[in-house]
Amino acid sequence: MTEKKNRKTAAILAIGDELLSGRTRDANMHYLAGWLTSRAIRLAEARIVGDEQSAIVEALNAMRPRYDYVFTSGGIGPTHDDITVDAIAAAFGVPVIEHPKAMDMIERWYRARGEEVTPARKRMGRTPEGAVLIDNPVSGAPGVRLANVFVMAGVPRIFQGMLNAVDSELERGVQLYSRAATAYGLPESRIADQLRDIQNRVAGVAIGSYPIDGDVKGVTVIARAEEEQTAFSAIDAVAAAMRDLGVEPKMEDNR
């Protein structure tokens, strides 16, 4: 696949029993996927594990040597079931410290609101040794970066705020050219043989086929390439195949 050339890779590890029990539907993996795509960074893998240190450590140590950036979400709050900071430290083999600047941020955040700085709130100022803070524009307690690992909150609004805070630290890739053709009333299986031919015939393109399941069935085909002309050639061939099957496609640009 041409699209992998020269692009930074990323992974996300979402942490939380509530994601695996069905209580909460994770929103951060999907948000991050789109956010990275718009920066031409390739999200290569996503995992969810529960609030269990050994599971977090093992997943993180499998992912961090393999990808340029690893994002975690969840488990950095004030309660006893928030164990991500300790797990990250264990994964890196470093101690957890009370980070002076994080402590200062937290104390000022709560004092400014006339609230007490409880032991639980101070706990959010603990970081793995050597970590750099990630600004939290929403609720005060910072995330942390350690090497290529970005440790962020699970609450979507805070996760997104922390992403914005690290945006400038990430190296963007070159955007692929991408074109889409959608045919309603055409089941994917009717055009599958033609798509395989086009994939084999047009060098440098990656053709994806995505069935539409709803009241009206259909298929969206997306051609991605580093060269604009390649994406156009492929999608034109797809559109011609759709017309041969009696359906006028809807064409659009697409990421």
x/- track of binding to a second copy for residues 158-197 (CB under 8 A): x-----------------------------xxx-xx-xx-
The least CB distance from residue 136 to a second copy, in Å, is 13
CB closer to a second copy out of 108 and 129:
108
Burial of 114 (0-12, 13-18, 19+ CB in 10 A): exposed
How far apart CA 140 and CA 115 sit, in angstroms, is 13
CB closer to a second copy out of 49 and 70:
49
CB closer to a second copy out of 129 and 246:
246
Binding to a second copy (CB under 8 A) within 66-85 occurs at 77-81
Phi, psi angle pair for 179, to nearest 5°: -130, 145
**The one segment of 27-35, 84-92, 165-173, 227-235 that binds a second copy by CB under 8 A:** 27-35
Q: Does 55 bind a second copy (CB under 8 A)?
A: yes
Binding to a second copy (CB under 8 A) within 226-255 occurs at 254-255
- Distance separating the N- and C-terminal Cα atoms of the chain: 16
Q: Does 19 bind a second copy (CB under 8 A)?
A: yes
How far apart CA 39 and CA 174 sit, in angstroms, is 8
Query: In the chain, which residue ranges form alpha helices assigned H by DSSP?
Result: 17-20, 28-37, 53-63, 84-92, 100-112, 119-123, 156-166, 188-201, 228-244
Q: Tell whether the torsion through CA atoms of 179, 185, 189 and 190 is positive or negative.
A: negative
Binding to a second copy (CB under 8 A) within 95-154 occurs at 115, 118-121, 123-124
- The binding site for a second copy (CB under 8 A) comprises 17-26, 29-37, 42-50, 55, 77-81, 115, 118-121, 123-124, 155-158, 188-190, 192-193, 195-196, 199, 207-211, 213, 222, 254-255
